[in-house]
Structure 1
Amino acid sequence: MEDQPFDMDALADELHELVPGFSGLHAVEKFNTGQSNPTYRVEADSGKYVLRAKPPGTLLKSAHQVDREYRVMKALAKNNVPVPKVYGLSGEDSAIGRMYFVMELIEGRIFWDPALPEVNKQERAAIYDGMNDVLARLHSVDPEAAGLADFGRSGNYFARQIRRWSEQYIASKTEELPDMERLMEWLWDNLPDDDGLVSVVHGDYRLDNMIFAPHGEEVRALIDWELSTLGHPLADLSYQCMQWRLPHKSGFRGLGGLDREELGIPSEADYVARYSERSGIAVNNWTFCLSFSFFRLAAILQGVYKRAIDGNASNPERAHEIGKAVPQLASMANSIMSGKA
């Protein structure tokens, strides 16, 4: 179901009540980047804003919870994590017929290519260091002190995630992939004991989910908190570090095959060591964490591929391309878990 035009008068009245100081709505324009939660630029006499909404239509109960995004950003803004300021959250019976929240519009740069061809060597190093710093700051937030003690479930995070994504993968399987079967078995056999580490995890921590200052390495905002929860901090770190291993000449936009030293981009080992130094978190069981991250992404992409086959994908052509990546991810994970990569 596509977005329908908004009742601008009704929305203007609602925003006036919801957003402090709001006045004079002029325009609402959808951003053309592919967020699963539709996101809009709002222009008014009182300024420019961002409206992030649930998609229209029938949704899975646990999906597209924009109220969780609103809650976590509101909490983290008080805890030294760069997030947009949030102004208000609507109910499901809003002027647009679904829940949404409004936040400030952050102007700056979004980098889509991790090789950062648009900046020089020194700035690349600084940008990667800025990302590293924000991740360490996020994982240093005390969830209880931030009012987020109930933001996720208790218990072994990796065990819950392996169970969830194994079930999702099996339900969406379209062919036999021995590498995926072997990977799922290996993850269960090598599951580390729960070390008790719990932090707010972003869930999709990567370069293009950050807005950087127009000049320099400052991360002005970490955005797209749809997958955030309470979990193990190394899940975020290993998810980001997949980028060092994924091929650059692919839809993954990874760093694999590039001369990272020549580009000024830190090695994976140096990036991990700097994170550990900043956060005080020991990086143990790294082979497991990386293998898990490759497995999780493969399971997610298999679901996208299955929906394309079933005729339910929003972009079928792209979904079919994504489906081809599942065997590649599973193969790379098998190389990592066997010590060959």
Structure 2
Amino acid sequence: MSKSNDLDAGPLGAELEAGIKGFEGLREISKFDTGQSNPTYLLKADSGAYVLRAKPHGQLLKSAHQVDREFRVMQALSGSNVPVPQMLYLSKEDSSIGRMFFVMSYLEGRIFWQPDLPECDRDERGPIYDAMNAALAALHDVDPSAVGLGDFGKPGSYFERQLSRWSKQYKASETQPNRDMDALILWLEKHLPADDGQVSLVHGDYRIDNMIFAQDKPEILAVLDWELSTLGHPLADLAYQCMQWRLPHNTGFRGLGGLDRKALGLPSEEDYVAAYCRRRQIERIEHWSFYLAFSFFRLAAILQGVLKRALDGNASNPKRAKEMGVAVPVLAAMAMQLTREEA
């Protein structure tokens, strides 16, 4: 975390004192060094600690960095079985910092940056993964209309729409040709499963480092980073998280690939999927290779956008962005290997 020099505490503090009941005396602003998408800050005030999440500076891709959507979905999930922070304030585009932002409660807890959980005892790792599994199933069991999110996205044809969206996003941020990505897009278009009518809230970036856990037990205090959330197909979230089992460990991905998961006390991909299916009363999942390949493609498209922003000078964490941009060819190659296994 670094002291922020791009936010003026005077105007911001005045806006928050007018907009948040009980907010008083903004004293310190620090920028979290982690994260690639929307810059996030810790605010320390006389009235307590808060977290501010804002749009980045510069020219943005269409439909990206919609912090108002993050605010809306977390506000709607308050009181549900899905743990989220308390939403306190949403600014307008012409805010005191010159762009839209929201403020939420600050939660003291643990964030696990590595999915193999090296800081935890073996017996704690399984329950942590089970807590993630339970929260994901709870999210997909939420009735979007019942929490005021019936219009949060277009129902149906999720993978068709997402494939179109991320193909366009990828092309808009492409910095050099990639044969695997081009072939992958064609394969996904050809093997797109028929829409089965399932619609749920999807997080869009469901992974362990987007959660805050309690300090002393395997309990999730909050699921964070809802920028990519929408109405969609629940298996998109499940497959996206299950990429973690396949991504190589000794790389920037910090995946579980190549590790002895049983010795570490971690569930296998098969066991994790089976637990999710039990919770949601699903008998079996068809087209699993498609869902996984799509997840690899989507992540590659996201990271390509991160790389493009870094090259353009607009990334939240430029050094990390360039490192992750190198990962795009690796993801595309892994996805193409999945397509060959399917064939």
TM-score, scaled relative to structure 2: 0.91
Question: Which range moves more in the overlay, 283-292 or 43-52?
Answer: 43-52
Q: Counterpart of 2:303 in structure 1: which amino acid?
A: L
Instruction: Note the C-alpha offset of 1:317.
Output: 5.0
What are the residue-to-residue correspondences of 1:192-211 with 2, within 5 Å?
A: 192-211=193-212
Provide, for residues 231-283 of structure 1, a one-character-per-residue CA deviation record: whole Å limited to 9, x for no partner.
11111110110000000000001000100000000000000010111123453
Provide, for residues 86-109 of structure 1, a one-character-per-residue CA deviation record: whole Å limited to 9, x for no partner.
112121232222222111101000
Q: Counterpart of 2:69 in structure 1: which amino acid?
A: R
Question: Which range moves more in the overlay, 116-125 or 23-32?
Answer: 23-32
d(CA) in 1 for partners of 2:46 and 2:308? 45
d(CA) in 2 for partners of 1:108 and 1:74? 20
TM-score, scaled relative to structure 1: 0.92
Question: Which range moves more in the overlay, 28-37 or 184-193?
Answer: 28-37
- Compared CA separation, residues 333 and 72, structure 1 to 2 (3 A): same
Question: Which range moves more in the overlay, 280-289 or 105-114?
Answer: 280-289
Provide, for residues 25-47 of structure 1, a one-character-per-residue CA deviation record: whole Å limited to 9, x for no partner.
22222222234212111222222
* SS of the residue 1:246 aligns to: coil
Query: Are residues 1:83 and 2:80 paired?
Result: no
| Larger RCO, structures 1/2 (Cα 8 Å, 6+ apart) | 2
Query: Are residues 1:334 and 2:336 paired?
Result: yes
* SS of the residue 2:337 aligns to: helix
d(CA) in 2 for partners of 1:154 and 1:53? 28
d(CA) in 1 for partners of 2:342 and 2:122? 30
Q: Counterpart of 2:248 in structure 1: which amino acid?
A: P
- The aligned counterpart of 1:251 is 252
* SS of the residue 1:84 aligns to: coil
- The aligned counterpart of 2:65 is 64
d(CA) in 2 for partners of 1:106 and 1:199? 27
Instruction: Note the C-alpha offset of 1:226.
Output: 1.0
d(CA) in 2 for partners of 1:234 and 1:254? 20
Question: Which range moves more in the overlay, 173-182 or 130-139?
Answer: 173-182
Question: Which range moves more in the overlay, 297-306 or 136-145?
Answer: 297-306
What are the residue-to-residue correspondences of 1:22-171 with 2, within 5 Å?
A: 22-171=23-172
2:87–2:103 contact (8 Å) kept in structure 1: yes
Question: Which range moves more in the overlay, 316-325 or 265-274?
Answer: 316-325
d(CA) in 2 for partners of 1:159 and 1:28? 42
Query: Are residues 1:178 and 2:179 paired?
Result: yes
Q: Counterpart of 2:221 in structure 1: which amino acid?
A: R
d(CA) in 2 for partners of 1:170 and 1:58? 16
* SS of the residue 2:27 aligns to: strand
d(CA) in 2 for partners of 1:77 and 1:314? 28
Q: Counterpart of 2:296 in structure 1: which amino acid?
A: F
d(CA) in 1 for partners of 2:290 and 2:205? 18
1:26–1:44 contact (8 Å) kept in structure 2: yes
Gaps of 5+ in 2: none
d(CA) in 1 for partners of 2:50 and 2:187? 47
- The aligned counterpart of 2:301 is 299
User: Identity percentage over the alignment?
Assistant: 64
CA RMSD of superposed structures (Å): 2.3
Instruction: Note the C-alpha offset of 1:315.
Output: 5.5
Query: Are residues 1:17 and 2:34 paired?
Result: no
1:272–1:283 contact (8 Å) kept in structure 2: no
1:11–1:96 contact (8 Å) kept in structure 2: yes
Provide, for residues 310-335 of structure 1, a one-character-per-residue CA deviation record: whole Å limited to 9, x for no partner.
66656665444334322221221122
What are the residue-to-residue correspondences of 1:217-296 with 2, within 5 Å?
A: 217-281=218-282, 282-296=284-298
Instruction: Note the C-alpha offset of 1:4.
Output: 5.1
Provide, for residues 127-163 of structure 1, a one-character-per-residue CA deviation record: whole Å limited to 9, x for no partner.
1111111101111110111100111123301001111
Give the number of aligned pairs.
Answer: 340
d(CA) in 1 for partners of 2:309 and 2:9? 34
* SS of the residue 1:144 aligns to: helix
1:88–1:103 contact (8 Å) kept in structure 2: yes
Gaps of 5+ in 1: none
